[in-house]
Amino acid sequence: MAMPDHAAIELTGLTKTYRRGRDLLTAVDDVTLSVPPGQVIGLLGPNGAGKTTTIKMICGLILPTAGTIKLNGYDVARQRADAVRQIGAVLEGSRNVYWPLTAWQNLMYFGRLKGLRGQEIRPRAERLLADLGLWERRHETVGSFSRGMQQKVAIAAALITDPPILLLDEPTIGLDVAAARTVKDWITRLAADEGKTVLLTTHQLGIAQELAGRVAVIRDGTIIADLPTPDLLSRYAEDRFQVRVAGTLNGFTGVLPAGARIEADGRSTVVTLRDADQHRLHSFLDQLRAGNVPLISVSQAQPSLEEVFLRLIQGDGGDGRSAPAAANTERVA
């Protein structure tokens, strides 16, 4: 299949400034982002970083102060009707659907709202409700559902028109483990099997690491990192090594490098060296050999997305070292 010549989501110089009394508050500052079709991108950031504002601007629910937004080539400001046809959205902190109505009534309403006819909506609604395990309860009001089921209805409503782009703002917030797992599996399936473009925000970084092939980190309205997830993780793995030795280090007379973390389980001990270059690593290994400490393995440690995220938003490498913004901000071709 020929790939379209435009990005699924294209943000150029997107800026949003709010007036708060006599002050101006910049919620989103000159964000430029291009998401190709079929990609799952995690937009991560602390509270108030500008994630939700960005998503709502993409939806056309908040007007940008500057910049352009294109969805599958349609300009949200100039071709709003065509642009909103491209998206389904589950917005953060919202019910998203009408609780006094039944699941079925909600799907029919949202399908018609997007321009579908009843006969087009019914088979899609049947499939979605069946797949999400809600078919038996389709004629019950959403208000009587558990939080997880309500969120499933919200996701079904966002998918009722089978949009190519999904905007999911904290889709697993407030869900229990099982419900979060279902939602996560669905996102995986939508991206992998149906080729949907997904823009996802979440504070559950394990989920982002699992789902997103690319991560953009936003802080104070500015994108400070934008890389494929493995690249982002490996970037911070370069200076971290794990040395596993047999037994304990009780009799070790050498000097542990500064910042080293030691974890012992009785049979072996793992020493994690942070900010270690090759010279420091070799020096430490030499000390182990001199002390006759039996070496099991040496490996490059892979940090979790959570660790990387914290280092990024703290503006340093975790030890006070500045993270060069230019190096972190790489555009994905």
Partner 1 sequence: MTAITIPRPGASEFALRAFANEAGKGLRLMWRRRAITITAVLLNGFMYLMIQFFIGGGHLVLPVLALTLPALFAYVSAATAALQGSGGITEEVNGGTLEQSHLSPARPVLLIAGRLAALAVEGLVPAAVLALAFGLGYRPHWVIRPDALVPLALIVADALGYGLLMTALTLRVASIGAVVHVFNMAVMFFGGMFIPITLFPHGVEIVARFVPTALGVEALNTTLAGRGLSAAWSDGSLPWLLVHVAGLAALAWGTYLYTLRRARREGGLSPR
What are the residues binding partner 1 (CB under 8 A)? 1, 4, 8, 18, 37-38, 53, 56, 59-63, 72-74, 80-82, 84-87, 89, 91, 93-101, 105, 109-110, 112-117, 120, 141, 157, 161-164, 195-197
Enter the tokens of residue 136.
């038996």
Q: How far is the CB of 162 from partner 1 (least distance, A)?
A: 7
- Cβ distance to partner 1 smaller for residue 79 or 248: 79
Q: How far is the CB of 187 from partner 1 (least distance, A)?
A: 16
Pseudo-torsion of CA 255, 257, 259, 263, nearest 10°?
Answer: -70
| Planar angle of CA 40, 207, 7, nearest 5 degrees | 10
- Cβ distance to partner 1 smaller for residue 67 or 73: 73
Q: How far is the CB of 301 from partner 1 (least distance, A)?
A: 37
* CA atoms of 311 and 305, how far apart (whole Å): 10
Q: How far is the CB of 153 from partner 1 (least distance, A)?
A: 12
Q: How far is the CB of 183 from partner 1 (least distance, A)?
A: 17
Q: How far is the CB of 18 from partner 1 (least distance, A)?
A: 7
- Cβ distance to partner 1 smaller for residue 188 or 272: 188
- Contacts of range 203-207, beta carbons closer than 8 Å, 24 or more positions apart: 203/170, 203/173, 204/172, 204/180, 205/44, 205/304, 205/305, 205/306, 205/309, 206/304, 206/305, 206/306, 207/172, 207/180
- Cβ distance to partner 1 smaller for residue 8 or 312: 8
Alpha carbon separation from 290 to 107, 145, 332 (Å, rounded):
70, 65, 46
Enter the tokens of residue 316.
């340093």
- Cβ distance to partner 1 smaller for residue 154 or 215: 154
- Cβ distance to partner 1 smaller for residue 41 or 205: 41
DSSP three-state, residue 97: coil
Decide: 224 and 215 in contact? Cβ < 8 Å. Answer: no
* CA atoms of 210 and 188, how far apart (whole Å): 9
